[in-house]
Amino acid sequence: MHGEAPGREAGRRGTLALYLGTVSAYADMYITQPVLPLLSREFGASPARASLTVSSVVLAIAVASSFYGPLSDALGRRRVMIGATALRSAATLACAFAPSLGALVALRSVQGALVPGMTAVAVAYAGDRWRGRDLAAAVGGVIGASVVGGLTGRVLGGWIAAQVGWRAAFGAFAAVTAAAALAMARGLPESAPPERRGWGAAYRGMLRHLADPPLVGAFLVGMSLFFGWIGIFTYLPYHLSGPPYGLSTGLVSSVFLVYAAGVVVSPIAGSLSARVPPRRLIGTGLVVAAIGMALALARPLGLVVAGLVVLVLGTFTAQAVAPAFVNTKAREAKGGANALYLTFYYVGGTLGSTVPGLAWQASGWPGVVATCGAAVAMGFLANALLCGRPSRARADPPPV
Helix ranges (H only) for 242-333 are 249-255, 260-272, 278-295, 301-329
What does the pLDDT read at residue 3? 42
Domain ranges (residues) in the chain: 9-392
C-alpha 264/C-alpha 16 separation (Å) is 17
Distance between CA atoms of residues 255 and 240, nearest Å = 9
Task: Give the pLDDT score at 199.
Answer: 61
What pLDDT shows up at residue 320? 84
Q: Is the Cβ–Cβ distance between 162 and 250 less than 8 Å?
A: yes
Domain range 9-392, its CATH number among 3.30.1490.480, 3.40.50.300, 1.20.1250.20, 3.50.50.60: 1.20.1250.20
Task: Report CA dihedral (185, 186, 188, 189) to the nearest 10 degrees.
Answer: 110
Per-residue pLDDT of the chain (400 residues; tens, 9 = 90+): 344 444 566 667 888 899 999 999 999 998 998 888 889 889 998 887 888 998 899 889 888 887 887 788 777 889 999 999 999 999 999 999 999 999 999 999 999 999 999 988 887 788 777 776 677 677 778 877 887 898 889 889 889 998 999 999 999 999 999 999 999 999 888 765 545 556 666 667 777 888 889 999 999 999 999 999 989 998 998 899 889 999 988 888 888 889 888 878 878 887 788 788 999 999 999 999 999 999 999 999 999 999 999 999 999 899 888 987 887 887 777 777 877 888 898 889 889 988 998 899 899 999 999 999 999 999 999 999 999 888 764 443 333 3
The pLDDT of residue 55 is 85
pLDDT value of position 197: 56
